[in-house]
A and B are shown apart, each in its own frame.
Chain A
Amino acid sequence: MAEATLRTAPLDRTRVLQWLQTYGVYAGVAALLVVNIAITPHFLSAENFRTQAVQVAPVIIVALGMALVIGTEGVDLSVGAVMALAASVTALYLGYGLLPALLVVALFAAAVGLANGALVALVGVQPIVATLALMVGGRGIALVLLPQLKDLRNPSLASLGSGDIAGVPYLILIAAVLALLVAFVVRRTTFGRQLLAIGDSRPAAQLAGLPVRRVLILVYIASALLAAVAGVLATARLQASDPTSLGNLMELSAITAVVVGGTPLTGGRVNIAGTVAGAVLIQLLTATLIKHDLPPSWTQIAQAIVIVAAVYAARGRGKR
């Protein structure tokens, strides 16, 4: 009996941290919603929710791919560059129609993903450096293809960016469908299981006979394709191709969303619902500070604190 009472104190602390890691992000979103409904004027309107959701949709889409990569104990720094590349290529091939342009974008993105994946899986380069090369080079290629901002006047692209079904913008629908798809892949498919096994221990996965190289390459291709989708959607919303600044710092936003959402950087576990909530949390935090006329510097400092708090809560969980 005495032993049991002695052991409750440390156990509770672990339990609190565990709870925070799993549900903290939802609690954070809920708290921000309540605070905003209470103190922010005009917060509780369909228009405002639509604006916030449309802004966060590209981040969510990129973060989905990032979550898969982080699940394999990797990281993909090239996602912002892929968004810029998608914007350039869209602008170049839009003359042939939207669908052909999208196909070429997918081709470019798949090539970037293949290069990343090959460096990581075949050559054995650390993910952070492998994708760093294309983070630098990819934006360079995007700028070589299209040196500056270009206005795009294409009705089908415009409707992709600003159209809606029953009041719900396409951007949000696409992000939702992709989130469900990725969650399904992670939870219910062999590929998802293999991905998590590799993240848990790559040598063990290799010894168990899993197709480690193929899975890794596919994961990086998936990440690049999702980033390209986000790039096209952002371009459609802007109705302009902006390879100079589109996707800048997107890799950081995506990693933040994934980490805040409770996916450990050490791999082996992926939390898709948490990732979506993580992106929403950062968006709400930024929106709250902006709506109360607090300067952007506060947003960045707040974001930094949220990141550190999230990894601190995740500390010691997953594998060492």
Chain B
Amino acid sequence: MSRSSFLYALWCLGVLGLYLAAASQGYSPFADGGRTAGAYRAYGPTHK
């Protein structure tokens, strides 16, 4: 395995580790919880 492949494999392991950590902690940066403050709310149909 070349050095660049080794480094890329390390990168992928890091990403999988982060995914595992987020999954075990029930975390997502795009979750609904906590995102409502200041969110713009639009009502009514948009049909024309």
Partners in one complex: no
Residues of A in contact with B (beta carbons under 8 Å apart): none
